[in-house]
Structure 1
Amino acid sequence: MRFVTMFVGLWLAGAVWAEPSLWRDEWSETDFERTTVENWAEIISGGPPRDGIPALSDPQFIEVPAESRIAPGEPVIAVEIAGQRPRAYPIRYLIWHEIVNDQIGPIPVAVTFCPLCNSALTFDRRVGGRVLSFGVSGKLRNSDMIMYDRETQSWWQQAVGTGIVGQMTGEGLELLPSWMESWEAFAARHPQGLVMAEPPWNRPYGRNPYAGYDSSKRPFLYSGEMPPNGVPPLVRVVRVGDRAWPMTRLAKAGVLREAGLALSWVPGQASALDAGTIAAGRDVGSVRVRDGKGRDVPHDVLFAFAFHAFWPDGTWMLGE
């Protein structure tokens, strides 16, 4: 692995095994008696404290034609909600902030990206009629970000969208359709769309602090079981529910029609986790998942090890 920035170096230096008794001072309002976590050793500190990776709220947007910083192949998370102008959330910002709390028309959303799992998910922030605001806890489980909500201080597993510690234990966030694609593809499809403006933080936006990560042999800060069937741990897979299609298979086919879904792959999106500059990342392509009526289906494109960690009994769609 070529983790050369001080940011990631701090993650390595600060990673320690922990248990609730060590966290109570920092998380005095969190109810650790309510949890689905059976083995606390699965949760480690990634280095930064709570909010050491600052989530964003009230993001600003600019018109697509006004954007000049983002290279054509750079990845963005596209969110399209009926009746609202489509929005693009650039990974060049999310790789440093991981969560954006936003409001799109009537829907409060959390747009999230976990670099260590490559998991990019968009959630409805309403739970039982209550609107939550999310931050980055600084904790990891199976190398996946643990989010927390500021209203109850409960912990949430990003890859699953479920409360795992505190008052919100067992609650689930509604997953909204969104997908990662190149900035060029989004801008061509939505010339009247909006793109999140550069946040007012001192960060080297456009740089990748995880250079070389997605070509590594092993995941970072992960000690769990590796995927079955000879699937490399850092191969991207397309997850829909508890099924996973290896990206290598989908890219070869271009289109797969299985399990009542149509999965498509097109080239043109740079990996955010390859080169030191995101724009220079190798082409990993973009995925879209639709149902039999052509409607977008919520899905994720994450690394194989993360799918196996959170869906150990999941189905691997390997074809023949």
Structure 2
Amino acid sequence: MRIILTVLTISLGLWAHELRAEPKNWVSEFPKTDFTRTNVDDWSEILSGGPGRDGIPALTDPKFVNVGDETRLGAREPVLTLELKGAAPRAYPLRYLTWHEIVNDRVGGVPVAVTFCPLCNSGLVFDRRVAGQTLTFGVTGKLRNSDMVMYDHQTESWWQQAIGEGIVGLHTGSQLEQLPAWMESWAEFAKRNPDGLVMDQPAASRPYGQNPYAGYDSRSRPYPFFSGENPPHGVPALARVVRVGERAWPVARLSKAGRIDEAGLTISWTSGQASALDTARIAKGRDVGTIRVRDSQGRDVPHDVLFAFAFHAFWPDGTWMLGN
């Protein structure tokens, strides 16, 4: 119950301006972190999100069930899909990722970190191998531009989830390899992968299936954890955009076109996926559609579908693909 109340307090945005921190306040939580190494220019960019280290508990080596045995998920519920060669396709439901944010898994021999930051709608999968070492990740409880700051257990370096980059500690400047993955509805995944696997419900006391950030993606501004600029070109701060590299396509444009062929990519939109950040019950969220990004040879391309304010914060000089 304590965790639930904490998350709900965060969603009201009541604490942000009181929880600014700096390294001297973090040493007791992260005694192994080398705070002298960083590419963060201004420590005031990093805020406490409320829960401390591991207050949002990451998962490691989760259990899976066969697609045909899954009965909890609604047809439109969003899942984060990972299809690696030589391994059964896996679906990671956002009803679980919302409460844990990181899943350390191994798929087809590849150690992966499946991550979701609800405040940015950023769902990314990374290879956990860095400089010959396999890392496992946890949640620091800190935010930068409203995006989750992760840490690795091996060196306690801090990592920015949205960009997959080390920002504090030994691995400052190191880059995690992003793997092709995408959000889609449970029905889409199950139809395409009848022999696939879906992550089983974790053995934790959480109200899985509920959205503690109800109404968030209809706000005009993010919660007060973010104090940066609004996106340019009149793009709403919490509009979803598809990011590939340093380019962003507004999902509103894609939903009208259905398909866009630009910059050597084919980006498609189909209806049927519920927003995880709309109604109190994730399964009943409004339709935000499913995005797929492929190259000229039809291969899936690493990308992200995140809020416009986050793209502008981390890629201030990025290119907006507005189609004008």
Q: TM-score, normalised by structure 1?
A: 0.98
The CA deviation string for residues 92-143 of structure 1, in whole angstroms up to 9 with x for no partner, is: 0000000000000210000000000000000000001100000000000000
Question: Does residue 4 of structure 2 align to residue 8 of structure 1?
Answer: no
State the 1:10 CA deviation.
Answer: 3.7
3-state SS of the aligned residue for 2:113?
A: strand
State the 1:13 CA deviation.
Answer: 4.9
The CA deviation string for residues 72-97 of structure 1, in whole angstroms up to 9 with x for no partner, is: 00000000001110000000000000
The CA deviation string for residues 33-90 of structure 1, in whole angstroms up to 9 with x for no partner, is: 0000000000000000000000000100000000000000000000000111000000
For residues 1-320 of structure 1, the aligned pairs below 5 Å read 6-11=5-10, 12-15=13-16, 16-220=19-223, 221-320=225-324
Share of identical aligned residues, percent? 66
Cα distance in structure 2, aligned partners of 1:78 and 1:47: 29
Aligned residues: 316
What amino acid maps onto 1:270 in structure 2? Answer: A
Q: Is the 8 A contact 2:77 2:186 kept in 1?
A: yes
Shift >4 Å, 4+ stretches: none
What amino acid maps onto 2:96 in structure 1? Answer: Y
3-state SS of the aligned residue for 2:206?
A: coil
Q: Is the 8 A contact 2:81 2:90 kept in 1?
A: yes
Q: Is the 8 A contact 2:57 2:138 kept in 1?
A: yes
3-state SS of the aligned residue for 1:31?
A: coil
Q: Is the 8 A contact 2:276 2:282 kept in 1?
A: yes
Q: In structure 1, list runs of 5 or more residues that go unmatched.
A: none
3-state SS of the aligned residue for 1:17?
A: coil
CA RMSD between the two structures: 0.8
Cα distance in structure 2, aligned partners of 1:192 and 1:123: 24
Cα distance in structure 2, aligned partners of 1:113 and 1:279: 17
State the 1:6 CA deviation.
Answer: 2.1
What amino acid maps onto 1:121 in structure 2? Answer: L
State the 1:242 CA deviation.
Answer: 0.2
Q: Is the 8 A contact 2:64 2:197 kept in 1?
A: yes
State the 1:26 CA deviation.
Answer: 1.4
What amino acid maps onto 1:92 in structure 2? Answer: R
What amino acid maps onto 1:27 in structure 2? Answer: F
Q: Is the 8 A contact 1:77 1:120 kept in 2?
A: yes
Q: In structure 2, list runs of 5 or more residues that go unmatched.
A: none
With 246-255 and 16-25 compared, the bigger mean Cα shift is at: 16-25
Cα distance in structure 2, aligned partners of 1:48 and 1:235: 27
Cα distance in structure 2, aligned partners of 1:249 and 1:207: 29
3-state SS of the aligned residue for 1:185?
A: helix
Cα distance in structure 1, aligned partners of 2:166 and 2:238: 26
What amino acid maps onto 1:273 in structure 2? Answer: L
What amino acid maps onto 1:262 in structure 2? Answer: T
